């Protein structure tokens, strides 16, 4: 009897509920790190700001001096030989800025400056004298004694010609570079034109002669001056590399 009661009582027990098979246990909440997140945002902002600054600096322009006409060595950069242009700023290049024009009046070109050149400080100097061993000789030339397109900075050969040749027309050796007569002699194989005096229209002055200044070696100055005084000098254009 007791056994049956115990058995019946056991049958009335309620079994404990069991969860679904394979269900994961709840995980612990992740630890948030706001400091790292703020640092990441800060690095992104700094990178974007740096890129913006680089783009803006690359687009900066400064106004500098550009050579528009040939400037012979030893001559100043006149107003007619310069213009303003905008270029990207570069601290490694010593550009002559347009707002420094007042300083150009006291400086001279160290070498020949060609059109299209951007002027930098290294091209200029304060020396207004002639180079060592050089002399400037003034010539008063008539038509036929010089090429029509002669200008400051041109390289020429200087000849002594007979009086009849020197007073000839533009077909003479002085204008065309053709072969001369037996009385013609080469005084200077290559000299540089320092300056040419012309009127506003680039015409020969009213006296009928063209004043020209040439740079020659001091050893040749006497012969050139003597020929010029006799009116027996003629110029012929030659390439820069001629000797």
Cα dist. 54→24, 38, 50 in Å? Answer: 53, 25, 6
Could you tell me how many residues make up the chain? 243
11-32 mean pLDDT: 56
pLDDT at position 160 is 94
Cα dist. 36→32, 50, 140, 145 in Å? Answer: 9, 21, 86, 86
Q: What is the CATH number of domain 61-125?
A: 3.90.1210.10
Query: CA-CA distance, 159 to 180, in Å (whole number)?
Result: 9
pLDDT at position 205 is 44
154-165 mean pLDDT: 83
Which of 89-93, 126-130, 153-157, 171-175 has maximum average pLDDT?
Answer: 153-157
Residue, of 58 and 237, whose pLDDT is higher: 237
Domain positions in the chain are 61-125, 134-237
CA 34 to chain CA mean position, Å: 54
Query: CA-CA distance, 76 to 124, in Å (whole number)?
Result: 9
Percent of the chain at pLDDT above 90? 19
pLDDT per residue over 112-152, tens digit each? 788 999 999 888 887 666 777 888 888 988 888 998 888 88
Instruction: Report the chain's mean pLDDT, rounded to a whole number.
Output: 76
């Amino acid at each position: 009897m007791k056994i049956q009661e115990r058995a019946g009582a056991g049958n009335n027990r309620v079994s404990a509920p069991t969860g679904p098979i394979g269900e994961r246990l709840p995980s612990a909440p992740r630890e948030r790190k706001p400091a790292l997140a703020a640092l990441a945002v800060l690095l992104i902002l700094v990178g974007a700001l740096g890129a913006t600054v680089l783009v803006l600096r690359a687009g900066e322009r400064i106004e500098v001096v550009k050579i528009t006409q040939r400037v012979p060595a030893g001559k100043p950069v006149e107003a007619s030989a310069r213009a303003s242009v905008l270029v990207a700023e570069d601290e490694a290049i010593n550009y002559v800025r347009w707002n420094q024009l007042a300083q150009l009046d006291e400086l001279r070109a160290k070498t020949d400056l060609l059109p299209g050149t951007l002027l930098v400080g290294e091209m200029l100097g304060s020396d207004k004298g002639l180079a060592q061993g050089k002399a400037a000789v003034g010539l008063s030339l008539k038509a036929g004694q010089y090429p029509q397109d002669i200008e400051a900075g041109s390289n020429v050969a200087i000849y002594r010609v007979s009086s009849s040749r020197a007073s000839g027309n533009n077909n003479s050796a002085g204008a065309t570079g053709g072969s001369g007569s037996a009385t013609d002699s080469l005084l200077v194989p290559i000299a540089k034109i320092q300056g040419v005096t012309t009127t506003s229209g680039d015409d020969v002055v009213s006296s009928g002669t063209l004043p020209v200044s040439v740079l020659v070696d001091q050893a040749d100055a006497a012969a050139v001056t003597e020929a010029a005084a006799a009116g027996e000098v003629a110029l012929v254009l030659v390439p820069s590399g001629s000797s």
